[in-house]
């Protein structure tokens, strides 16, 4: 993959426009405080010097994305949003896909990474590139540029690495990195392969400084040591001061990890996390999280975000913050059409829409998170209520029918012994079962 400043595809984008773009495009002096307020700034090198550079602008800056998995996740989304804010403010972004560094992988807190084959990494790099492109504008005076560090690292010899890069690194500094120190103290230790990662990332900053005048690198707070390695390498090799900017680790209000499950990821690729599941993650956010994440993950102006927070505080049951957050982030990642489809599905599941109008794929995704059972010819309404797990037993199921609280495909059932036929199957696969307003389950055809 060679570098380019034009996307290889033209995907549907959800970049901020109009008032949102104008709000984000603040001059350098205000930009740092604006992005700090949004939760997009943890620490920087020499903030006063960086503030002056941004005010004088334009600054050319970059963030790197390693293909150590076939998709970006929520942590990368923070960097993509920061890249876009800086571009809207009149600066020049470079997005780096780590075709070289992805072959090694940044050292983890524990355990050595499995080294993937060159073909796998190359395929994942292409997938990441396609995910990054919709977030940036590749035209105009501040056009983005996409690069792959394999272009300058692939032919780098071991002698060149040691003579031209390694001589600028001090072993004490490298050993003092938190992750390295932790791994060295552990039973598994750390290989020279992963230990050398910081040389390669530092060299990326040096190459981008030389090739494109890049003077700022952004990354997550866990990358601070690697970012500083690049800053120091440029200073020693070129005698020039450059900058680093980190974003905070995103956590929940209760202090637990941000993710689908504890330690899990909210993937951006629809084949790894469906748009419906993606939307549901955000819409199920706790009140405090939703209000805070609106600042970080959307481009709405401050005044509007403050108004949403105030209204949400007055009427939390309306879940305005969650619905706004889920809609904006899903549109940003998957496009407006996908958001509309999942919102229709969410409404239809709870009786506010026609289930039979839902696309088969959207319906599959929507019911995949529900308690489930198996539909077979002859299954009765009572059987369905029990098998789907929405009631505790047959007596509870009969009581739900008698009280008017049993629904099949959003249709109230008054005969618990009615056999569900093939006509009840949505798209020939599923029967949605509901007790009351919010207790849902699904039966799926055994051979589906």
State yes or no: 260 annotated in a binding site: yes
The secondary structure of 340-408, three-state, reads HHHHHHHHHHCCCCCHHHCCHHHHHHHHCCCCEEEECCCCEHHHHHHHCCCCCCHHHHHHHHHCCCEEE
SS3 56: helix
Nearest to 65 by CA among 75, 57, 55, 56: 75
State yes or no: 197 annotated in a binding site: yes
Kindly tell me the sign of the dihedral angle through the C-alpha atoms of 116, 117, 122, 126. Answer: negative
Rounded to 5 degrees, what are φ and ψ at 278? -60, -50
Nearest to 266 by CA among 193, 329, 358: 329
State yes or no: 201 annotated in a binding site: yes
Contacts of 211 (CB under 8 A, 6+ apart): none
Distance CA 302, CA 306 (A): 6
Kindly tell me the sign of the dihedral angle through the C-alpha atoms of 191, 193, 194, 200. Answer: positive
DSSP at 148: E
Question: Is 35 within 8 Å of 85 (Cβ atoms)?
Answer: yes
Q: Which residues are annotated as a binding site?
A: 62, 197, 201, 260
Annotated binding-site positions for L-tyrosine: 62, 197, 201
Binding site membership for ATP: which residues?
260
């Amino acid at each position: 993959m060679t570098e380019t400043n034009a996307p290889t595809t033209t995907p549907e984008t959800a970049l901020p426009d109009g008032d949102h773009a104008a709000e984000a495009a603040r001059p350098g002096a205000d930009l740092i405080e604006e992005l700090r307020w949004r939760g997009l700034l943890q620490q920087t090198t020499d903030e006063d010097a960086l503030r002056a550079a941004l005010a004088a602008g334009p600054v050319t800056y970059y963030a790197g994305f390693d293909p150590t998995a076939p998709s970006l996740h929520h942590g990368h989304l923070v960097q993509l949003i920061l890249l876009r804010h800086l571009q809207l403010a009149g600066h020049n972004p470079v997005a780096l896909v780590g075709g070289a560094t992805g072959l090694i992988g940044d050292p983890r807190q524990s355990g050595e990474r499995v080294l993937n084959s060159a073909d796998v990494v190359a395929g994942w790099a292409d997938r990441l590139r396609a995910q990054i492109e919709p977030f940036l504008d590749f035209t105009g005076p501040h056009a983005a540029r996409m690069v792959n560090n394999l272009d300058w690292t692939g032919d780098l010899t071991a002698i060149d690495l040691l003579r031209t890069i390694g001589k600028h690194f001090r072993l004490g500094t490298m050993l003092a990195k938190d992750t390295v120190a932790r791994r060295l103290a552990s039973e598994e230790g750390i290989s020279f392969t992963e230990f050398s990662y910081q040389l390669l990332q530092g060299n990326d900053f040096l190459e981008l400084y030389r090739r494109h005048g890049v003077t700022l690198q952004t990354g997550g707070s866990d990358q601070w040591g690697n970012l500083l390695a690049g800053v120091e390498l440029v200073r020693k090799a070129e005698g020039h001061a450059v900058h680093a900017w980190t974003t905070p680790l995103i956590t929940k209000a209760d202090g637990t990890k941000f993710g689908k499950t504890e330690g899990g990821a909210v993937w951006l690729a629809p084949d790894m996390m469906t748009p419906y599941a993606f939307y549901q993650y955000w819409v199920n956010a706790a009140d405090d999280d939703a209000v805070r994440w609106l600042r970080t993950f959307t481009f709405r102006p401050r005044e509007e975000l403050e108004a949403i927070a105030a209204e949400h505080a007055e009427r939390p049951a309306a879940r305005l913050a969650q619905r706004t957050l889920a809609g904006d982030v899903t549109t940003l990642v998957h496009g407006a059409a996908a958001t509309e489809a999942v919102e229709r599905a969410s409404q239809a599941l709870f009786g506010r829409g026609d289930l039979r109008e839902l696309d088969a794929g959207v319906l599959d995704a929507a019911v995949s998170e529900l308690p489930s059972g198996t539909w077979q010819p002859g299954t009765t309404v009572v059987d369905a209520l029990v098998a789907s797990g929405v009631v505790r037993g047959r007596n509870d199921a009969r009581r739900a029918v008698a009280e008017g609280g049993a629904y099949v495909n959003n249709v109230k059932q008054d005969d618990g012994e009615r056999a569900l036929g093939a006509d009840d199957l949505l798209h020939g696969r599923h029967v949605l079962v509901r007790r009351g307003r919010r207790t849902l389950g699904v039966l799926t055809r055994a051979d589906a």
